[in-house]
Amino acid sequence: MKVLIQICSFGAAMLIAFTVTMYSLPQRRGEVPPEPKAVDLSQMTMGDFVALGDDLYRNRGSCPLCHNDLGRAPDLEAMDVVGELEKTLAKPEYKGEAKTVEEYLRESMVNPSAFVVKGFGKKGSNDTESPMPASDAPPAQLSATEIDAIIAYLQDKDGYKVTVTLPEASKEEDKSTETASAAAPAKPPEFAQTPEQALAKYACGACHTLGKVESVVGPDLNTVAQRLSLAEIRESIIAPKAEVAEGFPDIMPDYGARMSVGELEMISQYLFQLGDHGSQASGNTLPEEQASNSTGDHSSS
Amino acid sequence: MHSATEMLKRYTIVLLLGGALLLVLLLVLGLGDLAVASTDAASTQAAESVEAVTGASSQGAPRLSEGDYPDVGVSSRSLVWLVAQLHLFFAALVLAVPIFVLVIELIGIFSSDDRYDDMAHEFMKITLTSYAITALFGGALTIALVLLYPDFMSYMTRVFRGQLLVYPVLFFLESLLLYIYYYGWYAMRYGQRKWMHVGLGLLLNFVGLALLMVANSWSTFMMAPSGVDAQGVVTGSMWEAMAGHLWNPLNIHRFIANIAFGGAVVGAYAAFKFLNASTAEDRAHYDWMGYTANFIAILGFLPLPFAGYWLTAEVYAYSQQMGIMSMGGILAWTFVIQAVLVCTILFAANYYLWTGMTRTDGADRYQWLVKYIAIVMVLGFLVWVTPHNVIYTVAEKAQLGGGHHPILAPLGIMPAKNIAVFLMLVFTFLSFQIYRRADKVITVPWKNWGNALMVCIYLVATVNIIFAGVYYGYYTNTVYKVGSSVMQVASTVVVIISGVVIDTLMFKGAEKMPVTWGRVSARSQYALFALPVVFTWLMALMGYVRSAMRGHWHVYTVMRDNSPDNYVPTLAYVGNMVSLSTVIFLTFLLFVFWVADLSNVRQIKPVASGLVGGDAR
pLDDT at A86 over 80: yes
Please say if the pLDDT value at position B198 is more than 90.
yes
Which string of b and e fits A278-298 if b means at least 16 CB within 10 Å? bbebbeebbbbbbbbbbbbbb
Determine the distance in angstroms separating the CA of A166 from the nearest CA of chain B, rounded to an integer: 29
User: In this predicted structure, what is the pLDDT of residue B615?
Assistant: 59
Domain positions in chain A: 37-186, 195-295
If you average pLDDT over residues A80-95, what whole number do you get? Answer: 89
Judged against a pLDDT cut of 90, whether residue A104 lies above it is answered with yes
What is the predicted pLDDT for the residue at B56?
35
Whole-angstrom distance, CA of residue A192 vs CA of residue B340: 43
Q: What is the pLDDT of residues B264-298, one digit of tens each?
A: 999 999 999 999 898 999 999 999 999 999 988 98
Chain B residue numbers touching A127 (CB-CB < 8 A): none
Residue B31 has pLDDT above 80, yes or no: no
B217-226 residue pLDDT tens: 999 999 999 9
Name the residue facing A119 among B230, B477, B482 (closest C-beta).
B477
Residue B355's H or E segment, with its range, is helix B332-356
What CATH code is assigned to A195-295? 1.10.760.10
Amino acid, res. B431: S
Least confident of A185-194, B15-24, B508-517, B566-575: A185-194
Give percent of chain B above pLDDT 90: 51
B38-61 pLDDT tens trace: 444 444 444 444 344 433 335 788
Asked if A240 reaches chain B (Cβ–Cβ under 8 Å), the answer is no
pLDDT digits (tens, 9 = 90+) for B144-177: 999 999 999 999 999 998 888 888 899 999 999 9
pLDDT at B426: 94
Min Cα distance A218 → chain B (Å) is 12
Q: How many angstroms separate the CA atoms of B378 and B388, rounded?
A: 19
Max avg pLDDT among A36-40, A216-220, B453-457: B453-457
Residues contacting B166, CB < 8 A, separation 6+? B28, B29, B32, B214
| pLDDT at site A275 | 56
Question: What is the Cα–Cα distance from B614 to B595, expressed in whole angstroms?
Answer: 18
The pLDDT assigned to B547 comes to 93
pLDDT of residue B9: 64
| pTM of the complete model beyond 0.80 | no
Domain boundaries of chain B, sorted by first residue: 1-45+83-334+533-600, 361-514
Q: Is the pLDDT of residue B581 over 70?
A: yes
- The model's confidence at residue B410, banded by pLDDT at 50, 70 and 90, is confident
Residues in chain A: 301
Q: What is the pLDDT of residue A295?
A: 32
Of B106 and B230, more confident: B106
Asked whether residue B330 carries a pLDDT value surpassing 80, the answer given is no
- Name the residue facing A15 among B336, B537, B556 (closest C-beta): B537
pLDDT tens profile A244-296:
676 666 667 667 666 777 778 788 888 877 754 433 333 333 333 333 333 33
Q: Round to whole Å and give the CA distance between A242 and A227.
A: 16
Mean pLDDT of chain A: 74
Distance CA(A112)–CA(A140), nearest Å, equals: 14
CB contact under 8 A, B320 and A27: no
pLDDT band at B617 (very low <50, low <70, confident <90, very high): low
C-beta atoms of B556 and A301 within 8 A: no
A21 to B572: CB separation less than 8 angstroms, yes or no:
no
* Buried-exposed string A240-275: b where 16+ CB fall within 10 A, e elsewhere: beeeebeeeeebbbebeebbeeebbebbbebbbebe
Q: What pLDDT is attached to residue A285?
A: 32
Q: How confident is the model at residue B70 (pLDDT cuts 50, 70, 90)?
A: very high
Tell me what pLDDT residue B462 has. 95
Per-residue pLDDT at B10: 64
More confident residue, A187 or A92: A92
What is the band of B362 on the pLDDT scale with cuts at 50, 70, 90?
A: confident
Residue B72 clears pLDDT 50, i.e. is over it? yes
Question: Chain A: nearest CA to B394, how far in angstroms?
Answer: 6
Instruction: Output the pLDDT for position A181.
Output: 41
**pLDDT tens per residue, range B179-191:** 999 999 999 988 8
ipTM value greater than 0.85: no
Residue B464 has pLDDT above 50, yes or no: yes
Q: Which of residues 50-69 of A touch B (CB under 8 A)?
A: 62, 65-66
Proportion of chain B in helix, strand, coil states, percent, rounded to 5: 75, 5, 20
Chain A residues with CB-CB distance to B271 below 8 A: 7
- Is the pLDDT score of A113 beyond 80? yes
From CA B493, how far away is CA B422, in angstroms rounded? 10
* Interchain proximity B582–A23, CB inside 8 Å: no
In this prediction, residue B270 carries a pLDDT of: 92
Task: Select from B319, B534, B551 the Cβ nearest to the Cβ of A133.
Answer: B319
In chain B, residues with a C-beta closer than 8 Å to the C-beta of A24 are none
pLDDT value at position A206?
Answer: 67
Angle at CA of residue B435, ends B429 and B437, nearest 5°? 105
Count residue pairs from A and B with Cβ separation < 8 A: 178
The secondary structure element, H or E, covering residue A38 is strand A37-38
Nearest 5 degrees, angle CA B227-CA B228-CA B229? 130
Q: Taking 50 as the threshold, does the pLDDT of residue A128 lie above it?
A: yes
Quick one: pLDDT at residue B414?
77
Residues A39-57 have a mean pLDDT of: 79
pLDDT of residue B143: 94
Checking if the pLDDT of B8 tops 60, the result is no
Does A212 contact B391 at a Cβ distance shorter than 8 Å?
yes
The bridge status of strand B615-616 relative to strand B602-603 is antiparallel
Q: Give the mean pLDDT of B139-148.
A: 94
